[in-house]
């Protein structure tokens, strides 16, 4: 954590550095029991290694760690004992000697989920039409990045947390200004900001859900309807009935667990918040959707639902740019995969049954 200037306000820190400060604050009082709630989903490999080291240190000192996570591989590797809850109800306890990924999935979801739950096909597939062109984008760490994305393609972008891929997503959508480079829709129309992007049917899901992807102090209805107000408008009016019908259709489609559409999003679970974010852009009818870590910090059941939505969008001829720190997700869902390191694209992979983490990781580190 030595790279963090203690004189800075936390509002100026990155998402990951804010989490590291949170860890430092929790450790300052030398706790005997440390509760870690979905913290690793916000951290890069370096950040995770710091946290794992603290966990091991506490264990060696006879102290306890309660480690809450949806990442099954992480739970199996780091925990001595696993307690499974589902929908707020205690389900079962599993000692380390009985850890089994398929068993844990079944306990978490409530039904059998054996093996992979990504796409079943292993061939890249998309139309020949270029929908989005990124040309020589340069700003901050991102340096001279260019690529085309095709109609009906899931284009994956991966790398370590600090490689520049999250910044690239914002630059493409126009949330941050570019020093050099342009983004074009269908090869011609240039767009520079979110307003222009949305007019062209381009949407963006931020990695930082609570700060950038959703209005936590607003209702589910307000969040889902916000990007689609012009579509809901009839003349100069938007009727209450029209908003309610629109919101209900997506609450039902995505099975958002809620007390009602007027419930504030701050009171939803992480998975249901993410469903609201997805509903917002699916309802907007985005032709291109930039998804930055869309399954971060949610359980495998919700993940599987989001993957099915992505497959449907692909089948409907929509384009998805999937930015993720999870290699299994990128390998499992992408037609084509771009790997970034130090702000540049270092390698491109095509979808293949033989493609593995080992093929990719050397181009990331």
User: Does one domain contain both 24 and 92?
Assistant: yes
Q: Are residues 100 and 223 in the same domain?
A: no
Query: 89 phi and psi, to 5 degrees?
Result: -115, 135
C-alpha distance across the termini of the chain, in Å? 20
| 100, 163: one domain | no
Are 60 and 152 part of one and the same domain? no
Any domain includes 301: yes
Say if 254 falls within a structural domain: yes
* Tens digit of each residue's pLDDT (9 = 90 or more) over 92-143: 999 999 998 888 888 877 655 544 578 888 888 999 999 999 999 999 999 9
Residue 2 lies in a domain: no
Domain co-membership, 282 together with 168: yes
- pLDDT, one tens digit per residue, over 229-244 is 888 888 788 888 889 9
DSSP string, 38-66: S-GGG--HHHHHHHHHHHHHHHHTT-EEE
DSSP letter string over 119-163? -S--S----S-EEEEEEEEEETTEEEEEEEEETT-EEEEE--GGG
Do 80 and 219 sit in the same domain of this protein? Answer: no
In terms of domains, do 244 and 311 share one? yes
- Mark whether 222 and 148 lie in a shared domain: yes
99 shares its domain with 161: no
**Can you give the CATH number for the domain in which 19 is found?**
3.40.50.300
300, two tokens: 């495998």
User: Using one digit for the tens of pLDDT, what is the confidence trace for 11-64?
Assistant: 778 778 888 888 989 999 999 999 998 888 777 778 888 899 999 999 999 999
Residues 265 and 336 in one domain: yes
Residues 199 and 320 in one domain: yes
3-class DSSP state of 309: helix
In sequence order, which ranges of the chain are alpha helices (DSSP H)?
15-28, 45-60, 72-78, 101-109, 165-173, 194-199, 220-225, 229-232, 240-253, 270-283, 300-315, 327-333, 357-361
**pLDDT tens across 311-337, in order?**
999 999 999 999 998 888 999 999 999
**What is the spatial distance between Cα 78 and Cα 300, in angstroms, rounded to a whole number?**
18
Question: Domain check: are 136 and 98 in the same one?
Answer: no
Give the CA distances from residue 215 to residues 60, 76, 209, 272, 315, in Å, rounded to whole numbers and listed in that order.
Answer: 42, 34, 9, 13, 30
Say how many domains are in the chain.
2
In a domain? residue 122: no
Kindly report the pTM of this predicted structure. 0.78
How far is 102 from 67, CA to CA, in rounded Å?
20
36: which 2 tokens?
A: 């870690």
Select from 248, 300, 256 the least CA-distant residue to 275. Answer: 256
Q: Residue 271's pLDDT band (boundaries 50, 70, 90)?
A: confident
Assess if residue 116 is contained within a domain: no
Query: Does 193 fall in a domain?
Result: yes
Tell me the mean pLDDT in the region 293-322.
89
* Domain with 24 in it: 10-109
Q: How high does pLDDT run on average in the chain?
A: 89
């Amino acid at each position: 954590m030595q790279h963090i200037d203690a004189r800075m306000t936390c509002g100026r820190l990155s998402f990951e550095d804010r989490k590291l400060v949170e860890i430092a604050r929790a450790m300052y009082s030398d706790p005997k029991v440390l509760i870690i709630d979905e913290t690793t989903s916000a951290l890069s490999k370096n950040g995770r290694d710091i946290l794992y080291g603290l966990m091991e240190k506490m264990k060696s000192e006879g102290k306890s760690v309660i480690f809450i996570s949806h990442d099954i591989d992480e739970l199996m590797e780091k925990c001595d004992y696993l307690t499974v809850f589902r929908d707020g109800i205690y389900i079962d306890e599993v000692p380390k000697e009985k850890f089994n990924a398929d068993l844990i999935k079944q306990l978490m979801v409530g039904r059998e989920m054996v093996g992979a739950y990504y796409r079943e096909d292993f061939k890249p597939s998309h139309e020949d039409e270029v929908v989005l062109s990124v040309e020589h984008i340069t700003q901050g760490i991102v340096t001279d990045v260019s690529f085309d994305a095709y109609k009906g393609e899931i284009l994956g972008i991966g790398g370590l947390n600090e490689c520049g891929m999250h910044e690239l997503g914002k630059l493409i959508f126009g949330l941050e200004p570019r020093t050099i480079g342009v983004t074009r829709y269908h090869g011609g129309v240039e767009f520079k900001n979110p307003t222009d992007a949305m007019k062209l049917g381009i949407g963006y899901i931020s990695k930082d859900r609570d700060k950038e992807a959703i209005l936590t102090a607003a209702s589910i209805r307000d969040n889902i309807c916000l990007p689609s107000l012009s579509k809901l408008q009839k003349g100069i009016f938007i009727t209450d009935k029209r908003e309610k019908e629109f919101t209900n259709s997506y609450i039902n489609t995505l099975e958002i667990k809620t007390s009602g559409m007027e419930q504030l999003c701050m009171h939803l679970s992480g998975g249901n918040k993410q469903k609201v974010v997805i509903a917002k852009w699916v309802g907007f009818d985005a032709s291109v959707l930039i998804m930055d870590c869309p399954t971060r910090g949610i359980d495998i059941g919700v993940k599987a639902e989001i993957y099915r939505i992505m497959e449907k969008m692909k089948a409907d001829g929509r384009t998805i740019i999937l930015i993720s720190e999870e290699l299994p997700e990128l390998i499992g869902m992408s037609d084509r995969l771009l790997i970034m390191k130090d702000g540049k694209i270092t390698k491109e992979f095509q979808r293949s049954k033989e493609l593995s983490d080992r093929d990719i990781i050397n181009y990331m580190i």
